[in-house]
């Protein structure tokens, strides 16, 4: 196969939907063998090289999934952690279950995926991990405590992984998307004052596409990013670059 990821084995969580699905498609176009995992929807990943039903917050299931990938392909070259949930609320009005669930899926799930693939990557002496944080990992947003906190945690997890495994040849970077049109953001579909205000906070004055995030993930997985690790790349139409005054 040709392409920037020719013959690499890339494991993508949250691969049935949105950014994960777009990343799976882009990785295949780049020549990779793509393993997709998601909590549900195996049939929507049937075109991938391997599709797995996986709850990323389940440590035993994560271990079994990575064992299956290694048994099938013999190695794992890249990981992209797209599985995630958007759970809302402030400290006093959020459901405690939502807090625990956001931590379990968004933060612990990302850590478990990295922890499961790292031994094989370290043994091979190379590998690339791309995590998905958010603009809300860098700034706060009202009524969004579980999500904000877990995405801030993903940023620090990414830096910690980069610090611990750089000497072994493993690169670990994060992407912080702005408003991307995916099933996660259906509440912002259709014209509404909230959608207009949110879009206006992005300097490019539009929402992003999952494919635009996927292209950045492919770059970070590839040798084109060979001296980049511990980085946070905003793919946010300029959201994090300026504070737009809404009038």
User: Is residue 108 close enough to count as binding ligand NAP by CB under 6 A?
Assistant: no
Q: Which of 11, 73, 147, 179 is catalytic?
A: 147
Angle, helices 18-29 vs 210-221, to 10°: value is 50
Render the burial of 39-61: b for 16+ CB within 10 Å, e for the rest: beeeeebeebbbbbebbbbbeeb
CB of 113 to ligand NAP, least distance (A): 10
Distance CA 68, CA 122 (A): 18
Stretch that binds ligand NAP, among 12-20, 88-96, 161-169, 216-224 (CB under 6 A): 12-20
Distance CA 230, CA 228 (A): 7
User: Is residue 82 close enough to count as binding ligand NAP by CB under 6 A?
Assistant: yes
Distance CA 184, CA 96 (A): 21
Map the footprint of ligand NAP across residues 186-245, applying CB under 6 A: none
CB of 168 to ligand NAP, least distance (A): 26
Residue closer to ligand NAP by CB (options 128, 180) is 180
User: Is residue 42 close enough to count as binding ligand NAP by CB under 6 A?
Assistant: no
Distance CA 84, CA 17 (A): 11
User: Is residue 140 close enough to count as binding ligand NAP by CB under 6 A?
Assistant: no
User: Is residue 183 close enough to count as binding ligand NAP by CB under 6 A?
Assistant: yes
Choosing from 84, 127, 234, 237, the residue that interacts with ligand NAP (CB under 6 A) is: 84
CB of 111 to ligand NAP, least distance (A): 13
Tell me the backbone φ, ψ of residue 66, rounded to 5 degrees: -70, -35
Choosing from 8, 10, 12, 17, the residue that interacts with ligand NAP (CB under 6 A) is: 17
Tell me the backbone φ, ψ of residue 80, rounded to 5 degrees: -125, 120
Choosing from 10, 26, 48, 180, the residue that interacts with ligand NAP (CB under 6 A) is: 180
CB 164 within 8 A of CB 113: no
User: Is residue 51 close enough to count as binding ligand NAP by CB under 6 A?
Assistant: no
Q: Which residue has the tokens 């801030």?
A: 152
Is 147 assigned a catalytic role? yes
Q: Which residues pair with 181 in a beta bridge?
A: 209
Active-site residue set: 147
Which residues of the shown chain bind ligand NAP in the complex (CB under 6 A)?
A: 13-14, 16-20, 38-40, 54-57, 82-85, 105, 109, 132, 134, 177, 179-180, 182-185
């Amino acid at each position: 196969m040709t392409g920037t990821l020719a013959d690499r084995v890339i494991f993508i969580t949250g691969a049935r939907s949105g950014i994960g699905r777009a990343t799976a498609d882009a990785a295949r176009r780049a020549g990779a063998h793509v393993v997709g995992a998601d909590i549900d929807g195996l049939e929507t990943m049937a075109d991938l090289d391997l599709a797995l039903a996986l709850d990323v917050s389940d440590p035993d299931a994560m271990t079994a999934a990575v064992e299956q990938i290694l048994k099938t392909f013999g190695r794992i070259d890249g990981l992209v952690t797209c599985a995630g949930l958007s759970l809302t609320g402030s400290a006093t009005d959020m459901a405690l279950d939502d807090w625990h669930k956001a931590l379990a899926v968004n933060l612990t799930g990302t850590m478990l995926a990295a922890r499961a693939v790292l031994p094989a990557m370290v043994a091979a002496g190379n590998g690339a991990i791309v995590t998905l944080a958010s603009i809300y990992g860098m700034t706060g947003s009202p009524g969004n405590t579980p999500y904000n906190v877990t995405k801030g945690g993903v940023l620090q997890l990414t830096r910690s992984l980069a610090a611990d495994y750089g000497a072994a040849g493993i690169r670990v970077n994060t992407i912080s998307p702005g408003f991307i049109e995916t099933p996660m953001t259906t509440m912002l579909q259709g014209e509404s004052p909230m959608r207009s205000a949110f879009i206006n906070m992005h300097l490019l004055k539009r929402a992003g596409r999952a494919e635009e995030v996927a292209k950045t993930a492919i770059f970070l997985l590839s040798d084109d990013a060979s001296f980049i690790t511990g980085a946070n790349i905003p793919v946010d139409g300029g959201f994090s670059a300026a504070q737009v005054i809404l009038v």
